[in-house]
Amino acid sequence: MSRVFADTVGLVAVWNRNDQWFSPATAVFHRLQATGVTLITTSYVLLECGNALSRTSLREKVDRVRTQMESAVC
């Protein structure tokens, strides 16, 4: 199984349609999903995402991902 690390810049770009990297990041994200790659990240990256998106409605997306990660931890 292949794993790809999702960093702050990539996640913010996928979530934020106004980000300059939105289109290429979304294309890569969909390509990775199609190949069955597992995306991994850290709580620190999610904290950075939450901070970067704190004044937008997108912060809720960060919180959902964090909640999903917490429930997936073995």
Summarised one tens digit per residue, pLDDT across range 7-63 is 999 999 998 999 999 999 999 999 999 998 988 998 889 888 888 888 888 778 777
Residue identified by tokens 């990041």 is 25
Contacts of 12 (CB under 8 A, 6+ apart): 19, 49, 52, 53
- pLDDT attached to residue 61: 79
Provide the residue range defining the domain that includes 50.
3-72
The pTM assigned to this predicted structure is: 0.77
43 CB-near residues (< 8 Å, 6+ apart)? 66, 69
Q: Which two tokens stand for residue 26?
A: 């979304």
The whole-angstrom separation of Cα 50 and Cα 42 is 12
Does the pLDDT value for residue 73 go beyond 60?
A: yes
- The domain tally of the chain equals 1
Helix (H, G, I), strand (E, B) or coil at 1: coil
